[in-house]
Amino acid sequence: MPSTGAPSTGTSGAAKPRATEGPATASPATAPAAPPAGGRWQPRPGTSWQWQLSGRIDTSVDAQVYDIDGFENSAATVATLHAQGRRVICYINTGAWEDYRPDAGSFPASVLGKGNGWGGEKSLDIRRTDVLLPLMAKRFDMCRAKGFDAVEPDLAENYHEDTGFPLTAADQLAYNRAIAALAHRRGLAVGLKNDLDQIPQLVGDFDFAVNEQCAEYEECDGLTPFIRAGKAVFNAEYNVSTDHFCANARRLRISATAKRLELGAWRKTC
């Protein structure tokens, strides 16, 4: 989710306005996204995307891929998008506890750390894979049952943050790889959210990247390992105009779009 005003290697947001269930409008099919590779969807560089985590889903946006909240959207919404030729990514927060989720009571207090600056959220102790992975597995099962093609695990760089736990880069690598494996075992593609410093180690474990503000902080070159591997990079910019970032995004083959912080339906693409 949106950065809180520092480079993305240091901060990454987590909270969002809650969505309203169901599509707003339907539209004719757009061009289909890249076909599955090896039985699992593999988005390619240049694939267009829409990221909407708040408000009623507007299915009329001309994008090959939709990234939407996994809890707050139904199988019917996913099916509507599939019928229009879209692929659909399931947003799931894997780095923070959110008090408004239906499974919030399943998280023991021992894995809850400091608030992360977003209402109702606390950082998770990602070292406690014995507790967290079964919970995340149930969330990914939900994504699969609703028909999603992939997952976007949010807050994948907590080791940079003041979480209340002594997290290390090695802890983050281990957790991120375990999260990717959970998705792959369910036939779901999985995206690496931000975590630019660890891209060289993780590009082989993930099927695409989701990034915030790489243009604003002049970090987009750090995402090129995904592009070289034939994997899409989905980028959102909040504070700079398309005039500022589109030329470089086209050069790098990054799927870039301007978004507002609330991540509603509005977008402006290159």
**Residues 87-94: what's their mean pLDDT?**
98
Task: Give the pLDDT score at 213.
Answer: 98
Q: Is the pLDDT confidence value at 8 over 50?
A: no
Q: Give the pairing type, strands 150-154 and 87-93.
A: parallel
**Residues 7-36: what's their mean pLDDT?**
38
Alpha-carbon distance of 78 to 92, in angstroms, equals 15
**Residues 31-60: what's their mean pLDDT?**
82
Q: How many helices (H) and strands (E) does the chain have?
A: 6, 14
Alpha-carbon distance of 253 to 45, in angstroms, equals 6
Query: Considering the entire predicted model, what is its pTM?
Result: 0.89
Containing H/E element for 126?
none
Provide the token pair at 244: 């500022």
* One-letter identity of residue 204: G
Of 92, 94, 119, 118, nearest to 107 by C-alpha is: 94
Task: Give the pLDDT score at 262.
Answer: 96
Alpha-carbon distance of 186 to 178, in angstroms, equals 13
Query: What stretches of the chain adopt beta strand conformation (E)?
Result: 36-37, 40-41, 49-52, 65-69, 87-93, 96-98, 112-115, 121-124, 150-154, 189-193, 208-212, 233-237, 255-258, 268-269
**Residues 130-148: what's their mean pLDDT?**
98
The fraction of the chain above a pLDDT of 90, given in percent, is: 85
Report all structural domains of the chain as residue ranges with CATH numbers, in order of start: 37-269 (3.20.20.70)
Q: Is the pLDDT confidence value at 38 over 80?
A: no
**Residues 42-68: what's their mean pLDDT?**
97
Q: Work out the pLDDT band at 20, boundaries 50, 70, 90.
A: very low
**Residues 212-224: what's their mean pLDDT?**
98
Of 95, 92, 97, nearest to 120 by C-alpha is: 97
